[in-house]
Amino acid sequence: MLDALGVDVETEEHVFGGAAIDAHGTALTDETLAACQAADAVLLAAVGGPRWDTTDPHAPRPEQGLLDLRKGLGLFANLRPVRPLPALYDASPLRRERIEGTDLLVVRELTGGIYFGEKTRTDTEASDLCHYTVAEVERIARVAFDAARTRRGAVASVDKANVLETSRQWRQVVHRVHRDDFSDVELQDVLVDNAAMQLVSRPSDFDVIVTENLFGDILSDEAAMLTGSLGMLPSASLGAPDDPGLFEPVHGSAPDIAGTGAANPLAMLLSTALMLHHGLGLPQEAAALESAVDRALEAGLRTRDLGGSATTAEATRGVLDHLTRSTA
């Protein structure tokens, strides 16, 4: 795909997640982390699966490798664009009139919150600490406001400030950043349970959603279904401007269809487009790849999860054919 775009890049492959656990006993080796830190961008495939699920707190898990990689690369902002395509409106579980015109961006804080807080467990109790600093909230708020300025100029900050002290701090900091530096952007506060309802009742009202780690994980997967399938949703995880970004599909590994050719490759192709744009500084090539995906779908391409029969290879070839025509 990159060759068809005329993009000349040097690539390395490394095992990660479950494959790394099988080979090395850990989801992320020091060698892989060092290679990612030295790269310009990291394109990541799905990493988990029931084979490595365990309740043993000392056993390695694929997801821990992902958390450690995000930490190791300083990736604090996860961007998940959600734009149902007209060609796929009927594939969504929601009625066409509910999703028409939806074009939103979920900005999720990635390195704080309950996933990274202190954890305890005994035979009779367990706890997970949700911890945020003012600086962590401030920097993710700036990412969201900056993104809104390039879109429709509206940010919905999602929290649970009626119950949680971390959310009260979140709201206070977001409002201060807005007042001091982004007063031209519209800001509204939305409680997370209300946000979950609004995402399925009137998703087109949202422009940019910014929220903390756990809420963002849940809401972005919910928003993914607006497109008709998790197999359609890409993501970008970014840190400092000079650090490598991480680009990956939102979906999991789906081991039940591994090797059958039934997997939808479009989220990976769209994640590659995000990599071209945000990781390699090639916005025109990114737009060309996104356009090729759109046109392939408009021409009738459907994988099994979208109600069709196209295999992984056929879907990839369909996008490649449209890309080749546009660059010929």
Q: Per this entry, what is the length of the chain?
A: 328
User: Which CA distances in Å does 67 have to 13, 33, 237?
Assistant: 19, 12, 12
Q: Which two tokens stand for residue 197?
A: 């309802």
Residue type, 18: G
Q: Please state the three-class secondary structure of 18-45 as a single string.
A: HHHHHHHCCCCCHHHHHHHHHCCEEECC
Contacts (Cβ under 8 Å, ≥6 apart) of 3: none
Per DSSP, the three-state class of 101 is coil
Pairing state between β 104-109 and 77-82? antiparallel
Contacts (Cβ under 8 Å, ≥6 apart) of 31: 14
Positions annotated as catalytic residues are: 115, 160, 193, 217, 221
Residue type, 269: L
For residue 155, which of 180, 184, 126 has the smallest C-alpha distance?
184
C-beta neighbour count of 100 within 10 angstroms: 12
C-beta neighbour count of 190 within 10 angstroms: 18
Phi/psi for 260 (5° steps) reads: -95, -10
